[in-house]
Amino acid sequence: MKVSAENPKFNDKAPHLLCGKGDIADVVLLPGDPARVEMFIDLCDDFKIIASNREYTIGTGTYKGYPISVCSTGIGAPSTEIAVIELIELGAKALIRIGGTGVLKSEVNLGDMIITTGAMRLGGASNFYAPPEYPAVASFEVVQCLVDACEEAGVDYWKGISASIGSFFAGQGRKAIGRTFHDPNLLDNYRRLNILNMEMESETILTLSSLFDVYAGTFCAAHANRETDEWLYEFGPAQVKMSKIALEAVVLLYQRYLNK
């Protein structure tokens, strides 16, 4: 079988996700961890894992009658870029990151919900697509659906700008094996810019989705607070709560924008 190196396909399936166009719903939730995809077996109807390869696990089912796919991205921009490009090529119309994040404000409690309105482009991969001046912004439609779903659920949530960084240690102000490689004022500089939180995938999703005219957003649970130096060790319940709210937001997105 001859396969193009420039645009590889394997039996009409995406080369990394190993899915075809009929496998993916219009709306795809994007956790980082492949293990979180299986959580949706209990949250959705008829949810089945359809592919698993490297850091990518993909499942598709329905929620309240609306089709939904969930695809893990792995950690960071490069693996996220691959997932986003292949999902859009397969026909995805909306991509919503779901995961955990570290916040920079003491008033945010662990387990609170974080809605990203825009992101600093510090991931790296998106720079191959657009200059640094090109903004990474969430779709208004997705933000509003997430806000309304949070209001309906009665949870504490925060909206703001994320720093989306291609580094977990030095880039987020952590020591690496006892050594400091980062600017000691790094976190203070983020705070001066009124950055709400730090994570590693949002700007890639938001930038690429804007370029290809796809709805996009990010919805995370606060797993860490860098101001109070707290880490949410048992983060499972927060992830389940976040995922349920995200699914309700997906229903709103279908009803308001995708079914017209």
SS3 56: strand
- For 69-94, b/e burial (b = at least 16 CB within 10 A) is bbbbbbbbbebbbbbbbbbbebebbb
Q: Are 101 and 221 in contact (CB under 8 A)?
A: yes
Partners of residue 133 on adjacent β-strands:
none
Helices 77-89 and 202-211, axial angle in degrees (round to 10)? 30
Q: Which residues are CB-contacts of 99 (< 8 A; sequence separation ≥ 6)?
A: 30, 31, 32, 33, 36, 199, 201, 220, 221
What is the reported pLDDT for 259?
84
What is the reported pLDDT for 248?
98
Positive or negative: CA dihedral 17, 218, 251, 42? positive
Catalytic residues: 16, 86, 174, 226
Strands (E), 151-232: 157-165, 195-199, 215-225, 230-231
Residues 35-44: contacts with CB within 8 Å, 24+ apart?
Answer: 36/70, 36/72, 36/98, 36/99, 36/239, 36/243, 37/70, 37/71, 37/72, 39/239, 39/240, 39/243, 40/68, 40/70, 40/243, 43/240, 43/243, 43/244, 43/247, 44/68, 44/247
- Which residues of the chain fall below pLDDT 50? none
What is the reported pLDDT for 4?
74
What does the pLDDT look like over 5-53, one tens digit per residue?
777 776 789 999 999 999 999 999 999 999 999 999 999 999 999 999 9
Helices (H), the chain: 40-43, 77-89, 140-153, 186-192, 202-211, 236-253
> Residue 119 gets which letter from DSSP?
E
Helices 236-253 and 140-153, axial angle in degrees (round to 10)? 120
What is the reported pLDDT for 18?
96
Q: How far apart are CA 61 and CA 219, in angstroms?
A: 20
Looking only at Cα atoms, what is the longest distance across the chain? 58
CA distances from 229 to 110, 123, 192 (A): 11, 24, 18
Q: Are 242 and 250 in contact (CB under 8 A)?
A: no
- Go through the domains of the chain in sequence order and give each one's CATH number: 21-258 (3.40.50.1580)
